[in-house]
Amino acid sequence: MNKVASYLNQYISGNVFDKDAILEAYSTDRSILKIKPRFVALPENTQDLSKILTFINQLAIKNYKIPIAVRGSGLDKTGADLTNGMVISMEKMNHIKEIDPRSRLVRVEAGVTLGQLNSALSLHGLTIAINAHPGHTIGGIIANCQVDSFASKYGGVIKHIERIEAVLSNGDRLQTTKMSHKKMEQLKDGKSFENRIYKNIDELLSNQKQTINNLANSSYDSSGYPAVTCVKTDKSFDLAPIFLASQGTLGIISEIILRCDVSPSPSRHLLVTFNSIQKALEFLNFALPLNPAEANIYDMRIFEKSEEYGKKLKFITKKTGDDSFLVVLNFNESNKKNSKHFSKCLEHLPRRSNYFVEDKENQIYLKELIGALNNYLNSDARGERFGFLDDFYIPSLELGAFIEDLVKIEKKFKIDLPIYGSFATENYYVRPDIKLEMLEPKKDENDKTIEPPIISLIRVFHEAILIHKGSFTGGAPEGRSKAFVTTPAMSEERKNLYEKIKEIFDPNSILNPDIKLGIEQKQIIKNLRTSYDDHIVI
């Protein structure tokens, strides 16, 4: 066993591994990349986490650097939980520490999954109203700050965070709290690493007011550390927002106190098909003021593809002919309010529209829809479709024109790019069927290596998003697989701000140093998956 692993195993309750079979298991996630680590650490508590980071930081001071990536459930689509150094997996830190039903607060370790937490909260009539994969860890949801389809109604993960405990790059612990400016000034006078962070972040915010204001007024973009704009207000100071979308580059989240929602009434859905994107958008614009929990849109080609695999939707195929888009509204209020919303929506529909309102008799249709979508995402028997084009923001007014440009990109790359996502949050997904040849570098007529087609596709896709005033990272941060196009598009002022934030929190650059601002295209090409054996099957 390597000396690093052997040394750490003497001092922690968990384990550090360097066996090849284990390293292979942590070398892929849901991204298009494969990076094999040198070590995999499974801490069992915050003390373990602190000891690991203290030791790795001490090595870095002596110029022996082992980069660290944090892994939750391995569901990251950008490769942010991969590294050639040490992967710290939070899977053992998965305990719900305390539930306070009266205050509607819950304290959990970062490795607790959303499904695990909501199952426990349901016994108290509570929930965390985030519509994410139930396998996502709470720490991962915060570190990736993914915009979920409930966010327009319930506010997203940022509205649930009461307090964060994080282990800093030197092994010290930081507990965030909303404090007065007077209390924060007192903290700045100390000599600890935490004190220096407060002092330096406050000075940075004061010195870069214009950049902060510009960032706050821009379209939402979660590359870098955009939630720094929420750290300092006229009345308070709170470092918790800075960890949103940080992807483990500023500290490792160990525990969280969350504010819970009261469990809503059972959902009822309205499904409607349209023969044009314009008609679908007109209907969605009408329905949005009714405050649905979700307002989603799907390219019908998704379900046509699923039909090839036996997932035939009776509701859709019964009447439709040329319908090209499906709209799904989800209302979760009282039966009386839901009925009123449905009545208004149905009155607004064109004649002979193909629709159904969910009830006890036809719930099978909704289950078929969910099954067909899951089938599409996993329709390749070798594993899940890669989400390298997921989580992008397109303003509602631009969506129709963007979809027209998607058709041009399809023709250019000879690939289908059906879109789906949340009109309410303006966050969308495209899951193409990627062939191996798209991942392989090509040669020109002079035998010079040129970029793989998938890199060209990402670049062209990103350019189309910018043309339509959107953001490639509007719904989740950049990680590795997007940063090579998003970072060059940043203003120098914004880049400078983010670089200084990273330096304040991680002066020895050990926490995921080669993602976000530190990535280069050649690193992406080097680490592209090269075989279907690398593809995770779920």
DSSP 3-state of 373 = helix
Q: What is the pLDDT of residue 92?
A: 97
- Over residues 106-110, mean pLDDT: 98
Confidence of residue 536 (pLDDT cuts 50, 70, 90): very low
- Over residues 211-236, mean pLDDT: 89
DSSP 3-state of 300 = coil
Using the predicted structure, report yes or no on whether residue 235 has a pLDDT greater than 60: yes
Count CB atoms within 10 A of the CB of residue 243: 27
Q: CA-to-CA distance for 279 and 289, rounded, in angstroms?
A: 17
Q: Are the beta carbons of 53 and 169 closer than 8 angstroms? A: yes
Q: What is the pLDDT of residue 520?
A: 85
Q: CA-to-CA distance for 340 and 211, rounded, in angstroms?
A: 46
Q: CA-to-CA distance for 499 and 509, rounded, in angstroms?
A: 11
Express each pLDDT in 62-105 by its tens digit: 999 999 999 999 999 999 999 999 999 999 999 999 999 999 99
Q: CA-to-CA distance for 535 and 532, rounded, in angstroms?
A: 5
Confidence of residue 316 (pLDDT cuts 50, 70, 90): low
Kind and range of the H or E element at 371? helix 363-377
Q: CA-to-CA distance for 352 and 356, rounded, in angstroms?
A: 12
Q: CA-to-CA distance for 295 and 328, rounded, in angstroms?
A: 6
Q: CA-to-CA distance for 27 and 154, rounded, in angstroms?
A: 35
Which tokens hold the place of 150? 């409930």
Interior CA angle at 474 toward 136 and 270, to 5°? 70
Confidence of residue 375 (pLDDT cuts 50, 70, 90): confident
Helix axis angle, 492-505 to 209-216, nearest 10° = 110
Closest CA to 52 of 83, 12, 87, 92: 12
- Over residues 26-52, mean pLDDT: 96
DSSP 3-state of 471 = strand
Supply the DSSP string of 305-362, one letter for each residue.
HHHTTT---HHHHHH-SS--EEEEEEE-S-HHHHHHHHHHHHHHSPTT-EEEE--TTT
Confidence of residue 322 (pLDDT cuts 50, 70, 90): low
Which tokens hold the place of 288? 């949005």
Cα-flanking dihedrals φ and ψ of residue 213, to 5°? -65, -40
Confidence of residue 371 (pLDDT cuts 50, 70, 90): confident
Cα-flanking dihedrals φ and ψ of residue 179, to 5°? -130, 160
Using the predicted structure, report yes or no on whether residue 158 has a pLDDT greater than 50: yes
Express each pLDDT in 491-503 by its tens digit: 999 999 999 999 9
Q: CA-to-CA distance for 93 and 112, rounded, in angstroms?
A: 7
Cα-flanking dihedrals φ and ψ of residue 69, to 5°? -120, 140
Using the predicted structure, report yes or no on whether residue 110 has a pLDDT greater than 80: yes
Cα-flanking dihedrals φ and ψ of residue 28, to 5°? -135, 155
Confidence of residue 308 (pLDDT cuts 50, 70, 90): confident
Beta pairing partners, 427: 393, 422
Q: Looking at per-residue confidence, does 474 or 441 come out higher?
A: 474
Q: What is the pLDDT of residue 366?
A: 83
Q: CA-to-CA distance for 261 and 154, rounded, in angstroms?
A: 9
3-class SS string, 397-427: HHHHHHHHHHHHHHHHHCCCCCEEEECCCCE
In 125-229, the DSSP E strands lie at 126-127, 161-167, 173-175
Q: Are the beta carbons of 325 and 274 closer than 8 angstroms? A: yes
Express each pLDDT in 187-217 by its tens digit: 888 889 999 999 999 999 999 999 999 888 7
**Mode of pairing for the β-strands spanning 68-71 and 86-89:** parallel
Confidence of residue 323 (pLDDT cuts 50, 70, 90): confident
Cα-flanking dihedrals φ and ψ of residue 203, to 5°? -65, -40
DSSP tag of 535: S
Buried b (16+ CB within 10 A) or exposed e, 16-33: bbbeeebbeebbbbbbbb
**Residues shown for the chain:** 538
Q: Rounded to two decimals, what is the model's pTM?
A: 0.93
Which tokens hold the place of 458? 């990402």
Count CB atoms within 10 A of the CB of residue 339: 14
Share of the chain above pLDDT 70, in %: 95
* Residue 264 CB burial class (10 angstroms; 0-12, 13-18, ≥19): middle
Confidence of residue 538 (pLDDT cuts 50, 70, 90): very low
Q: CA-to-CA distance for 468 and 463, rounded, in angstroms?
A: 9
Question: Highest mean pLDDT: which of 28-37, 181-190, 369-378?
Answer: 28-37
- Over residues 151-165, mean pLDDT: 95
Q: What is the pLDDT of residue 318?
A: 46
Looking at this protein, which amino acid is placed at residue 295?
Answer: A
Q: What is the pLDDT of residue 37?
A: 98
Confidence of residue 535 (pLDDT cuts 50, 70, 90): very low
Which tokens hold the place of 349? 């529909």
Q: Looking at per-residue confidence, does 228 or 446 come out higher?
A: 228
What sign does the CA torsion over 372, 376, 381, 385 have? negative
Interior CA angle at 36 toward 34 and 39, to 5°? 145
- Average pLDDT along the chain: 91
Q: CA-to-CA distance for 473 and 228, rounded, in angstroms?
A: 16
Interior CA angle at 129 toward 125 and 132, to 5°? 130
- Over residues 421-429, mean pLDDT: 97
Cα-flanking dihedrals φ and ψ of residue 433, to 5°? -90, 105
Looking at this protein, which amino acid is placed at residue 257?
Answer: I
Beta pairing partners, 126: 262
Q: Mean pLDDT lowest for which of 261-270, 307-316, 410-419, 513-522?
A: 307-316
Using the predicted structure, report yes or no on whether residue 533 has a pLDDT greater than 80: no
What structural domains and CATH numbers belong to the chain? 96-262 (3.30.465.10), 268-377 (3.30.70.2190)
Express each pLDDT in 267-291 by its tens digit: 999 999 999 999 999 999 999 999 9
